Chains A and B, each alone.
Chain A
Amino acid sequence: MFGSGQRQFWHDLNHLFTLVCQINERGEIIRSSPLMQRYCGIDDLGASNFFELFEFKRPSKFEGSFAGAVRNQGKLFLGVNEKLGFAIRGQMADFSKQGLKGICFIGVPWLWWMQSNNENLTLTFDDFPVHDVQMDQLFFMNAQQVMVDDLQAINDELVAAKAEVDQLNASRTNYFRHISHEMRSPLGGIISALTLLKDGQYDNRTNELIGLVDQSAVRLLEVINFTLDTASLEAGSQAEHTEIFDLNRLIDDSLTLVRAKALEKGIELKRAGHMHFDTHYQGRVKLLRQVLSNLLSNATKFTDQGTVTLTVSIKQSAANGLDTLTFSVTDSGPGIPEQYLSQIFEPFATGITPQTQGSQGTGLGLSIVQRFIEALGGQISVTSEVGVGATFRFDVVLRQARAVISADENLRADSSAKSSLQGHVLVVENIQTNLLLNAKILETLGLTTDLAASGEMALEKLTQGGDAYDVIFMDLDMPGIDGFEAAQRIRSDYPSCKAPIIALSAHDTDEDRRKAGEAGMVHYMVKPLIREEVLHDLRAWLLVGQSKNTVYTPDTNAEPINKDTAVTDEHSDILTFKSEKIETLVKDVGLTVTQTLVSKFLSESAQRWDALQAAINGSDNATITREAHTLGSSCLTFGVENAGRLFRQIEAKSIAGETIALGELADIERPLSAGIQQLEVFLSGVA
């Protein structure tokens, strides 16, 4: 029986804990709190066994006995009754001194277990003592879950917004590319036409106007290319494309691009630092090439006397195969005042400094340089002193690559000195103007052309004779059978056609390049075609022995010849003397040496003229070929253009086995005399 003290103590216990059980040594519940009774259906008189009523999850090795309960006093007890959906958490306590015999469990409902296992949970605030934190935890966990949901929702919104921005960006990039393409196509026509026009002889006023149009067209092309490059960079295509390249060749090619301009301006173009690299690298060479080209071109443009120097050094790392390449382009131009240095990489920053005001250009070069270098993972810096010059320096980290020289590269290297082409070319292009202009440009290189205005027509021509062509120029963007499909069909359906197919496109995307490669095309050229580039690139395929139509070995200085000896060469009656060649020669080797060479040329010419005449008389084609070739080459070297071309025609006819009439040689006499006279006058003027 409870005494009054015990009753008060029991009452206090029930105030502090909502679950209280007094348990005897047999494990029977001899007294319990109302909540325990409500959930477990027991009362004070019941003889439920506490250790049978619950399965205990904790303490971990509790075997469910009175002795164990006594032993584990102070530890957390977690017990569950699955059937009742009820669980308890609390501890065992010995209150025998307070008159409660046996052992007592004091605790609260185990809220988390019941939340998870009892769908009909009816616990309320009153079922927990005020100090119990399980309700707090419940709210906290709810709140945390809400926060997680909030963050997930915000993240979903951000992902969706990013996808939308990416989509818009892609659309914008495509739009720019499309517009740029649409602008480049007609501009290509203009530039190609200008290329041909510039070879003509006109009065000064007309030449001046052609020059202005040409300058504007080139600047417009620069702006369009900037737009395309920017769009490509943003689309990530250019930035991701890597290839193995020869560092030496990259440097040499970059210097070659500006050599003519440097010679023209009388400034020295130097290479410094390491002078030769054996190393090949894997990297975004397209970007690097354009960076070097832009920096060197800028330096040359703003330097009127002194030197432009390209310095390249390498910090090698044997450990991971990654090298740090440092490039710097130093000029002795007017320099850039300090206050302008931070602005010069901004787009359209042309002429921002007093020193460069009035200079031609769009002001986009350095901006694209900076963007490209950033895409390469590097950074550009500039230092300058007014009146002394400027240095642009950047580092890029590149991975060394095994030196793989492709057959194509070997071929190019071997033929690098050659400058004349022969062969029969099929030009496939649906835009009539471009078709004709491209054909004209190819013809001025000495090539004969056949034209197809569609992919279908190209295949038809190959059906008539698959082996007729040495090279096929294939426009990619055509209605009907486009260039990709046409190339694919040629490679699969026309085995007799061995001609390399060169892709021709106004777009310059890695995707198109990849597709062109997959379709069997071996090279990719961007419109508008530039004669020098075509000449340079075609050397890889149109060598002697490579061309079925080639019967002549061009020499180092030879100009293009036309296999067709009919007077179709539009230049044949245009140029008597071209001073640029002799100017270049003077700059390259000096006036004295040039005068000696010219003198030698003049004396030898007379002898060779006689020898040629004798050979024609004797129908000695081998001698005719040799002498006409030598005379033609010499004339063209010294700018005696018209005579040189006429010698070439004789040479070609001789090679073809045709008979040469003495009258044909007589036709050369006048342009040869006139040309030599002008050459002498020019040289005396220079002297």
Chain B
Amino acid sequence: MYGVINKSLKEMVIEQFGMERWESILERSGVPVDSFLSMRSYDDQRTYALAQGCADELGIPLADALRAFGAHWIEHTVERDYSALVSAAGNSLVEFLNNLNALHDKISSTFLDYRPPTFDVTLKGDHEVDILYTSERMGLTPFVEGLMIALGKRFNEPVEVLSIEAMPVDSGEQSRFSIRLG
């Protein structure tokens, strides 16, 4: 994953729990470096180790830690560094999600080892939406859940997650989110 993910995770911990907790997490995770360059690709295992270290240090389930991180990712990192792109990608959650694959495609044309997930959006009714999340990475569904709730806030459309269904896939991860928009 790109360093921007690790950097964001670090920022979240320091912001919410202080530098000492981050240093403990770093020590727990065994990750040897403390500085990450946003657009440099790092081994996925580092990110997983940091997330697990975070959960262990804070004494919470890994899923909760990932959910919180998903929200932080949108509310702080994306909002600060990529606000113009989010704005260009849509004025509502559905519009944004619909354009997200296009956005990822564009990024892939510049960052050649970028391996983004895909989001297939299906409108089920006035306020209900199904989102099929597909990633070649495992275990990030809670991160996406936190991310969608935060996006709902950004577009003033509070998101209620009705269900998350793990789909059978040969590799990676696929989850179907059923959400209701407020």
Residue in B39, B85, B87, B107 whose beta carbon sits within 8 Å of that of A147 in the complex: B39
B-chain residues with CB within 8 Å of residue A139 when the two chains form the complex? 82, 85, 103, 106-107, 110
Known: A125-B89, A125-B103, A139-B106. A115 touches B37 (CB 8 A): no
7 other contacts beyond A136-B106, A145-B81, A150-B36, with CB at 8 A cut-off?
A115-B84, A125-B88, A125-B90, A138-B88, A139-B82, A142-B81, A154-B35
Does any Cβ of A come within 8 Å of B178's Cβ? no
Contact B37 A151 (CB under 8 A): yes
Q: How far is the CA of A400 from the CA of B39 in the complex (A)?
A: 53
- CB–CB B85/A136 < 8 A: no
Contact among B7, B37, B85, B89 for A142, CB-based, below 8 A:
B85
A-B contact pairs, 14 of them (CB 8 A): A123-B88, A124-B89, A125-B103, A136-B107, A136-B109, A138-B84, A139-B82, A140-B110, A142-B84, A143-B111, A147-B38, A151-B37, A154-B35, A157-B35
Q: Are B102 and A146 in contact (CB under 8 A)?
A: no
B91 at the interface (CB under 8 A from A): yes
Q: Which residues of B contact A123 (CB under 8 A)?
A: 88
Residue of A nearest to B83 (CB): A142
Q: Say if the beta carbon of A397 comes within 8 Å of chain B.
A: no
A136 to B88, CA, bound (A): 12
Contact A147/B84 with A124-B89, A125-B102, A136-B106 known, Cβ cut-off 8 Å: no
Cα–Cα distance between A150 and B81 once the two chains are bound (Å): 12
Q: How far is the CA of A124 from the CA of B109 in the complex (A)?
A: 19
> A288 contacts the other chain (Cβ, under 8 Å)?
no
| Residues of chain B with a CB closer than 8 A to A157's CB | 35
**A interface list, Cβ under 8 A from B:** 115, 121, 123-125, 130, 133, 135-136, 138-140, 142-147, 150-151, 154, 157
Bound form: Cα–Cα A149–B112 in Å: 22
Closest to B109 in A: A136
What are the residues of chain A within 8 A of B41 when measuring CB–CB?
A: none
Asked if B99 lies at the interface with its beta carbon under 8 angstroms from chain A, I say yes
Which residues of the other chain, B, contact A136 by a CB distance below 8 angstroms? 106-107, 109-110
Bound Cα distance from A125 to B102, whole angstroms: 8
B7 lies within 8 A of A150 (CB) = yes
Query: Chain B's nearest CB lies how many Å from the CB of A146?
Result: 5
Q: Which residue of B lies closest to A158 (CB)?
A: B35
Task: Give the docked Cα–Cα distance between A130 and B35 (Å).
Answer: 36
B4 in the interface (beta carbon within 8 A): yes
Min C-beta distance of B32 to chain A, whole Å? 15
- Minimal beta-carbon separation of A36 from chain B (angstroms): 19
Q: Which of chain A's residues have a CB closer than 8 A to the CB of B36?
A: 150
Report yes or no: A135 in contact with B106, Cβ–Cβ below 8 A: yes
Q: What does the 1/0 interface line of B2-30 toward A look like (CB < 8 Å)? A: 01100100000000000000000000000
Please judge, given known A-B contacts A124-B91, A125-B90, whether A138 and B81 are in contact too, CB under 8 Å. no
| A143-B38 in contact (CB<8A) | yes
Which A residue sits closest to B111, measured CB to CB?
A143
A135-B106, A136-B109, A142-B82 known; A124+B39 contact, CB < 8 A? no
Q: In the complex, what's the smallest C-beta–C-beta distance from A351 to chain B, in angstroms?
A: 41
Chain A, Cβ-Cβ closest to B107: A139
Enumerate chain A residues within 8 angstroms of B88, measured Cβ to Cβ: 123-125, 135, 138
Knowing A125-B88, A139-B107, the reply to whether A147 touches B82 (Cβ < 8 A) is: no
Please name all residues of chain A whose beta carbon is closer than 8 Å to the beta carbon of B35 when the two chains form the complex: 150, 154, 157
The 6 tightest CB contacts between A and B, nearest first, are A146-B38, A136-B106, A125-B99, A140-B110, A143-B39, A154-B35
Closest beta carbon of chain A to B30's beta carbon, Å: 21
Give every chain A residue within 8 A of B111 (Cβ-Cβ): 143
In angstroms, Cα B42 to Cα A150, docked, is: 15
A138 contacts which chain B residues (CB < 8 A)?
Answer: 84-85, 88
CB distance from A141 to the nearest CB of B (A): 10
Nearest A residue to B2 via CB reads A143
Interface of chain A: mostly helix, strand, loop or mixed: helix
The 0/1 profile, CB within 8 Å of A marked 1, for residues 31-55 of chain B is: 0000111110000000000000000
Does A146 contact B81, Cβ atoms closer than 8 Å? yes
CA A612 to CA B166, docked complex, whole Å = 124
> B83-121 toward A: CB 8 Å interface, digit per residue (1/0)?
011011111000100010011001101110000000000
Least Cβ–Cβ distance between A156 and chain B, in angstroms:
11
The CA of A341 and the CA of B40, in the complex, are separated in Å by 46
Q: Which of B3, B39, B90 has the largest number of chain A CB atoms within 10 A? A: B39
- For B102, the chain A residues whose CB sits under 8 A away are 125, 130
Closest to A148 in B: B38
Please measure, in the bound complex, the distance between the C-alpha atom of A150 and the C-alpha atom of B3, giving whole angstroms.
Answer: 10
CB distance from A110 to the nearest CB of B (A): 14
CB contacts (< 8 Å) of A151 on chain B: these are 37
Contact residues, B46-92 vs A (CB, 8 A)? 81-82, 84-85, 87-91
Residue with the highest number of chain A CB atoms closer than 10 Å, among B81, B84, B91? B84
Given A139-B82, A139-B110, A140-B110, does the pair A146, B89 have CB atoms closer than 8 Å? no
Cβ contacts under 8 Å, B3 to chain A: 150
Q: Measured between alpha carbons, how far is A115 from B84 in the docked complex, in Å?
A: 9
Per the bound structure, the CA–CA distance linking A121 and B87 in Å amounts to 9
Q: Which chain A residue has the least Cβ–Cβ distance from B100?
A: A125
> Closest Cβ of chain A: how far from B100's Cβ, in Å?
10
Q: Which A residues touch B4, using CB under 8 A?
A: 146
* A136 to B81 Cα, complex, angstroms: 15
Q: Which of B88, B103, B107 has the most CB of A within 10 A?
A: B88
Chain A residues near B110 (CB, 8 Å)?
A: 136, 139-140, 143
Q: How many Å lie between the Cα of A133 and that of B110 in the bound state?
A: 10
- Who on chain B is nearest to A125 by CB? B99
B162 to chain A minimum Cβ distance, whole angstroms, is 28
Q: Are B38 and A150 in contact (CB under 8 A)?
A: yes
- Distance A677 CA – B111 CA, assembled complex (angstroms): 102
Contacting residues, chain A, for B107 (C-beta < 8 A): 136, 139
Q: Which of A139, A140, A144 has the largest number of chain B CB atoms within 10 A?
A: A139
A142 CA to B99 CA, complexed, in Å: 18
A278 to chain B, nearest CB (A): 57
Q: How far is the CB of A603 from chain B (nearest CB, A)?
A: 88
Shortest distance from the beta carbon of B41 to any chain A beta carbon, whole Å: 12
The residues of B that contact A146 with a CB separation of less than 8 Å are 4, 38-39, 81
State in angstroms the CA–CA spacing of A676 and B38 once bound together.
92
Considering the chains assembled together, what is the distance between the CA atoms of A125 and B82 in angstroms?
A: 14
The residue that B90 contacts in the complex, of A124, A144, A147, A154, with Cβ under 8 A, is A124
Task: Please indicate the chain A residues that have their CB under 8 angstroms from the CB of B95 in the complex.
Answer: 124
CA A140 – CA B111 in complex, angstroms?
9
Residues from chain A with Cβ under 8 Å of B82 in the complex? 139, 142
A135 CA / B90 CA spacing, docked (Å)? 13
Give B77 Cβ to nearest chain A Cβ, in Å: 9
A135 proximity list for chain B (CB < 8 A)? 85, 88, 103, 106
Please name the residue on chain B nearest to A157 by beta carbon: B35
CB distance from A85 to the nearest CB of B (A): 15
B149 to chain A, nearest CB (A): 23
B105 nearest CB neighbor, chain A only: A130
Residues on B with C-beta less than 8 A from A145 are 81
Bound CA span A376–B128, Å: 78
For residue B90, which residue of chain A has the nearest CB? Answer: A124
Q: A143 to B109, alpha carbons, bound, how many Å? A: 13
Chain B CB within 10 Å, residue with most, of A123, A138, A150, A154 = A150
CA distance A123 to B82 in the complex (A): 15
For the complex, give the distance between the alpha carbons of A123 and B110 in Å: 21
Q: How far is the CA of A124 from the CA of B86 in the complex (A)?
A: 9
Chain A contacts for B85, CB-based, 8 A: 135, 138-139, 142
Bound-state Cα–Cα, A577 to B11, Å: 84
Instruction: Select from chain A the residue with minimum beta-carbon distance to B7.
Output: A150
Q: Give the complex CA separation of A147 and B103 in angstroms.
A: 20
Q: Which residues of B contact A140 (CB under 8 A)?
A: 110
Of B7, B35, B89, B106, the most chain A CB neighbours within 10 A belong to B106
Shortest B111–chain A CB gap in Å is 8
